[in-house]
Amino acid sequence: MDDRSSGPMKLMMALVSACALTLNSPAVDAETVLRAQRPVTWKDFLGVNVQFHQFTPDIYEKQMTQLDGLGLKWIRWTLRWPVLEPVPGEYDLAALDAAMAAAAPHGYNTVAYLVGSATFDSSAPQGASNADQYPPRDNSIFAERMTALAQHYPQVSHWQVWNEPNIVWLPQADPVAYYNLLTETASAIRTALPGKPIITAGVAYYGQIRGSTGYMLQSMVDQGLAGQNITAAYHPYSEYPEGDSIGDRDFLMRGNALNKTLHDAGVKDVWATEWGWSSYSGPVEMQHIIGLDGQADYTLRRLAMMSTMDYQRIFVFNLSDLDQRASTRDRSYGLVDLNGKPKPVYTALKHFFDVTGPTLMPADPPPAIALPEDLYAIAWNRPDGSHLLMAWSASSAHLNFPGIKTATLYDPLTGDHRELASAKGVDVPLSPTLQVLVWTP
């Protein structure tokens, strides 16, 4: 998690996969109505970022209980090398050992990433205050330490090498040096633990390299990433759920383009290992102020879009708010607060999952009349045979569905719902926030 900025894509653009609700609304762009590429099971698709060992046992036990309440099973755990080994050969693992032991009975699928150079292996110039942000001086030492952690924590199913090196590494991001670190570390871990899954660093945004026109994931592909059986990961943060430019729908355009480029190159799995919004109150730091309710709204809309895209797994940042060790903005990304109490975003997700159920299957949308140009809509089928439509519109227009005579309209942000019925077809008042229409044929 670091400073957020946006930039133009170098990678090949691909059209967004979509279908139109009705043929008599030519003004509606193809991107407005999305069709999922495959079924989604939330506990397999959506995970959360965690830092359990940075909290006291009573607090992280509350965090785990809240996570279990959402029915989610994937976690991504932050490990910082300079903190775990402040002096060569002397490890500070007591808090991490205890938190790992506490998490084990919950049966989480655990991804862990090691980030930061320990002082004794940093390439930073002597006296640098931020030596952890420089790449390792000796890759083999980093690889050795990460392998030792993989052996010490067998419950970690996947290991991720570093975090956001495209914007964090000093004095300048180096995609060739990072790829060497990645492949050397992967080789070391797999020599000790054959078949252990490895993930690239989650690169910030779409892989743009600070101070360069290059893209880190593209460079990794060019260097042979597809032949390494390594999952590719990136962090599609943006100002709004729809992207940095709502009119251009640039999140859908960039995310779909990058995923297609990676998959077409032979990369099997693509994960978004961080995304989300802070509920902080300012001063403004790279993200405009949206508050607690805005965080809930943005998270639901982005989750709805990402569920239609060719990601194999995604992780929201973050399960919990963070303490003063994080920046003002970074302290407030949590689904729960520092005491483990649910924030509105947590409650909204709970309502959302209660409505959708655990698994959804792609479906064609029902015929509708008078679609607004700013509509976003996604149709699904539930295993019980009922139908579901997620929809929102900034203009708060109405949709009429002549083939649906009765339905229930849910608002996950509030938990409210209302029954709709009409012999002429239900009329659905759209909202700028996500709503879910459910009906049975």
pLDDT of residue 76: 98
pLDDT of residue 371: 87
One fold for 37-359 and 360-439: no
In the DSSP assignment, the letter for residue 113 is: E
CA distance 47 to 344: 18
Q: Taking the domains of the chain in order of start, what are their residue ranges?
A: 37-359, 360-439
Domain 37-359 grouped into CATH 3.20.20.80: yes
pLDDT of residue 1: 60
pLDDT of residue 18: 29
pLDDT of residue 10: 30
Q: Where are the beta strands (DSSP E) in 221-318?
A: 232-235, 270-272, 313-316
pLDDT of residue 211: 84
Query: Which regions in the chain score pLDDT beneath 50?
Result: 2-31
- CATH number for 360-439 (one of 3.10.620, 3.10.450, 1.10.3470, 2.60.40): it is 2.60.40
How would DSSP label each residue in 310-375? S-SEEEES-SB---TTS-TTGGG--SB-TTSPBPHHHHHHHHHHHHH-SEEEE-PPPP-BS--TTE
pLDDT of residue 373: 86
Name residue, tokens 């490990």. Answer: 79
